[in-house]
Amino acid sequence: MSRKKRTPTRRPFEVWPSAPRPWGAFWRDHGRVLRDTLGYVTGRVGTTIWVWFMIGIALSLPAALHLVEMNLARAAGGWSGSSGISVYFVPKADPEHQQAVVERLQRTPGVEEVRVVTAAEALDEFRRMSGVAEALALVDDNPLPASARASVSSDADVDRLDRMVRELEGSEGVDDVLLERTWFQRLAAIREIVKRLAWALAGLLGIGTVLIASAAVRLAVEARLEELRILVLVGAGSRFVRRPFVYLGVVYGAGGGLIAAMLIAGLLSAVERPLVRLFASYGTDLELLGFDPMFIMVLLGSGVALGVLGAVFSSNQRVRRLV
Amino acid sequence: MEGIEFQHVVKRFDTGVEALHDVSLSIAPGSLTFLTGHSGAGKSTFLKLLLGLQTPTRGRVLVNGVDIGRLRRRQLPHYRRHLGAVFQDDHLLPRRTVSANVAVPLQVAGMKAREAERRVRAALDAVELLDKAHLLPGHLSAGERQRVVIARAVANRPRLLLADEPTGNLDPALSESVMGLFDRFVEVGTTVIVATHEIDLVRTLGRRMVALDHGRVVDDTWASDAAGHV
- The pLDDT of A22-49, averaged and rounded, is 87
**Which residues of B are less than 8 Å from A18 in CB distance?**
78, 81-82
For residue B214, give the CATH number of its domain.
Answer: 3.40.50.300
| List of chain B residues whose C-beta atoms are within 8 Å of the C-beta of residue A44 | none
A13 contacts in chain B (CB < 8 Å): 66, 71-72, 75
For an interface test with B, give the residue of A3, A11, A16, A232 to mutate (most B CBs within 10 A). A16
- The residue among B5 and B142 whose pLDDT is bigger is B5
For residues B167 and B151, state if they share a domain: no
Q: Find the closest chain B residue to A237 by CA distance.
A: B77
Predicted ipTM of the assembly: 0.84
| Lowest model confidence (mean pLDDT) among A4-13, A148-157, A200-209, B181-190 | A4-13
CA–CA separation, A16 vs B81, rounded Å? 10
Q: Of B130, B157, B184, which residue constitutes the final position of a domain?
A: B157
Query: Is the domain of B164 the same as that of B200?
Result: yes
Give the per-residue pLDDT at B9.
Answer: 95
Full domain range(s) for residue B151: 91-157
Q: What integer is the mean pLDDT of B179-186?
A: 84
Domain check: are B57 and B99 in the same one? no
**Distance of CA B205 to CAs B111, B154, B159, Å?**
35, 20, 21
Residue in B with minimal Cα distance to A232: B77
**pLDDT above 50 (res A264):** yes
Contact list in A for residue B85 (CB cut-off 8 A) is 233-234
Q: Are B175 and B218 contained in the same domain?
A: yes
Q: Could you tell me the pTM of the whole model?
A: 0.71
Distance from B108 to chain A by nearest Cα, in Å? 6
Burial A272-300 (b: 16+ CB within 10 A, else e): eeeeeeebeeeeeebebebbeeebbeebb
Instruction: Give chain A positions within 8 Å (CB) of B104.
Output: 230-231, 234
Amino acid at A104: R
pLDDT band, very low/low/confident/very high, at A132 (cuts 50, 70, 90): low
Same domain assignment for residues B99 and B40: no
Scan residues 146-185 of B and list those with Cβ closer than 8 Å to A. Answer: 152, 156, 159
Q: How many domains does chain B have?
A: 2
Sign of the dihedral defined by the CA atoms of residues B218, B222, B224, B225, in that order: negative
Task: Among A14, A234, A323, select the one facing B108 at the smallest CB separation.
Answer: A234
Compute the mean pLDDT over every residue in chain A, rounded to the nearest whole number.
Answer: 83
Predicted local confidence at residue B139, as pLDDT? 93
Judged by DSSP in three states, B29 sits in coil
SS3 for B144? helix
Q: Percent of chain A at pLDDT above 90?
A: 25
Residues B71 and B163 in one domain: yes
Cβ distance of B104 and A32 shorter than 8 Å: no
More confident residue, B86 or A137: B86
Do A237 and B77 count as a contact with CB atoms less than 8 A apart?
Answer: yes
Of A269-283, B10-24, B194-208, highest mean pLDDT: B10-24
Tell me the average pLDDT across B106-121: 90
Mean pLDDT, to the nearest integer, of A40-66? Answer: 92
User: B104 pLDDT band (50/70/90 cuts)?
Assistant: very high
Res B133 pLDDT > 90: yes
Out of B64, B72, B110, name the one closest to residue A15 (CB). Answer: B64
Q: How many Å lie between the alpha carbon of A15 and the closest alpha carbon of chain B?
A: 6
Q: Which of A284, A274, A295, A249 is nearest to A55 (CA)?
A: A249
Return the pLDDT at B224.
57
Rounded percentage of chain A residues whose pLDDT exceeds 70: 84
pLDDT tens-digit map of A95-120: 888 888 889 888 888 888 888 888 88
H/E segment holding residue B197 = none
Asked if the C-beta of B113 comes within 8 angstroms of chain A's C-beta atoms, the answer is yes
* Statement: residue B229 has pLDDT above 60: no
Contact list in B for residue A229 (CB cut-off 8 A) is 91
B113 and B144 in one domain? yes
Per-residue pLDDT of A269-308, as tens digits, reads 888 888 778 777 766 677 777 888 999 999 999 999 999 9
- Inspect the interface and report whether the beta carbons of B80 and A15 lie closer than 8 Å: no
Beta carbons of B91 and A233 less than 8 Å apart: yes
Q: How does pLDDT run across B56-103, given as a tens digit for each residue?
A: 999 999 998 899 988 888 888 889 988 999 887 768 888 899 999 999
Predicted local confidence at residue B226, as pLDDT: 47
Specify whether B77 is located in the same domain as B163.
yes
Instruction: Looking at the structure, tell me whether residues B76 and B136 fall in a common domain.
Output: no
Cross-chain residue pair B81–A235, CB shorter than 8 Å? yes
Find the residue in B nearest to A29 (Cα). Answer: B110
What fold characterizes domain A84-179? Alpha-Beta Plaits (3.30.70)
Statement to judge: residues B106 and B202 lie in one domain: no
How do the domains of chain A map onto residue ranges?
28-77+187-322, 84-179
Choose one of B108, B132, B157: the last residue of a domain. B157
In whole angstroms, give the CA distance from residue B196 to residue B37.
7
pLDDT tens per residue, range A182-223: 666 677 778 788 888 889 988 999 999 999 999 999 999 988
Alpha carbon distance, N-terminus to C-terminus of chain A: 41
- With a cut of 90, say whether residue A170 has pLDDT above it: no
pLDDT of residue A208: 92
Report angle CA B142, B147, B149 to the nearest 5 degrees: 95
Q: Does B83 touch chain A (CB under 8 A)?
A: yes
Please classify residue B6 by burial: count the beta carbons closer than 10 Å to its beta carbon, then call 0-12 exposed, 13-18 middle and 19+ buried.
buried
Average pLDDT over residues A68-74: 78
pLDDT given for residue A308 in this prediction: 95
Tell me if A21 and B80 make a contact (CB, 8 A cut-off).
no
B62 interfaces chain A, CB cutoff of 8 Å: no
| pLDDT recorded at residue B90 | 65
- Whether residues B66 and B127 share a domain: the answer is no
Which whole-number Å values give the CA distances from A37 to A16, A213, A217, in the listed order? 34, 14, 11
For strands B32-36 and B18-27, give the pairing: unpaired
